[in-house]
Chain A
Amino acid sequence: EPEVTQTPSHQVTQMGQEVILRCVPISNHLYFYWYRQILGQKVEFLVSFYNNEISEKSEIFDDQFSVERPDGSNFTLKIRSTKLEDSAMYFCASRKARANNEQFFGPGTRLTVL
């Protein structure tokens, strides 16, 4: 069964450093998402992406964040200058079509900012 994959599974970085989290959505999906989950808290929406552009973003997704689909398979989340409070699990999700609401989630990347 096709699944969303994410790399790395765990990323440790120093405050102020840039990180790139990578995702490979399910191949025939058209809508892509990033969510984050701070330890012990609920999952929070960051951004959605369709047709090579951001379609919606939350207040969390400020100028330090960016997303890109550099080729036909990868979907990346970049944090330019990480802060301690960026430490969280980051989940990528994808959805097949507008008529199908189900979002499939990847296993997540645990980001630890020291």
Chain B
Amino acid sequence: GESVGLHLPTLSVQEGDNSIINCAYSNSASDYFIWYKQESGKGPQFIIDIRSNMDKRQGQRVTVLLNKTVKHLSLQIAATQPGDSAVYFCAENNNAGNMLTFGGGTRLMVKP
């Protein structure tokens, strides 16, 4: 069925290293994807988005890569910091921006 999911539930990285969080989607008609960060006790916070007519988009210390051939999305965080520790969700936005379909989440743990 149509779904948005994540490969790994937990990712542990050393402070200063780069982090890569992966996401797979199964709906080939998906055309818009978002990464959210959720810290403990808070709501999801928008990080970066990408449309299907792009394969890469960069923000401040973050890069999202989209591979439509294999229906794979990744979030790269450069020079990971302790403040990056959180759960990261990919989400698919459909129906011209209406409902969001979230993946299961990956917990990023940054070791000092």
Contact = CB atoms under 8 A, between A and B. Distances in A.
A12 to B, nearest CB: 17
B81 interface: no
Given A43-B89, A101-B32, A106 B43 contact: yes
Nearest to A47: B99
A31 B44 CA distance: 17
A56 B95 CA distance: 9
A101 B43 contact: no
Given A101-B32, A101-B49, A101-B97, A42 B44 contact: no
A91 B43 contact: yes
A55 B93 CA distance: 15
Given A98-B97, A101-B97, A102-B49, A91 B102 contact: no
Contacts, number: 57
Contacts of A106: 43
B57 to A, nearest CB: 13
B99 to A, nearest CB: 4
Interface in A73-108: 91, 93, 95, 98, 100-108
Contacts of B89: 42-43
Most B C-beta atoms less than 10 A away, residue of A56, A58, A102, A103 = A103
A105 B105 contact: no
Interface string A55-70: 1101000000000000
B75 to A, nearest CB: 16
Q: Report the 5 A-B pairs with minimum CB-CB distance, sorted nearest first.
A: A105-B43, A45-B99, A101-B97, A43-B102, A42-B102
B37 to A, nearest CB: 11
Contacts of B93: 101
B33 to A, nearest CB: 10
Given A43-B102, A107-B42, A107-B43, A95 B95 contact: no
A56 B43 CA distance: 21
Given A48-B98, A55-B98, A101-B32, A42 B43 contact: no
A100 B42 CA distance: 23
12 contacts: A31-B98, A42-B103, A42-B105, A44-B102, A45-B100, A45-B101, A58-B99, A95-B97, A100-B97, A101-B49, A103-B46, A105-B36
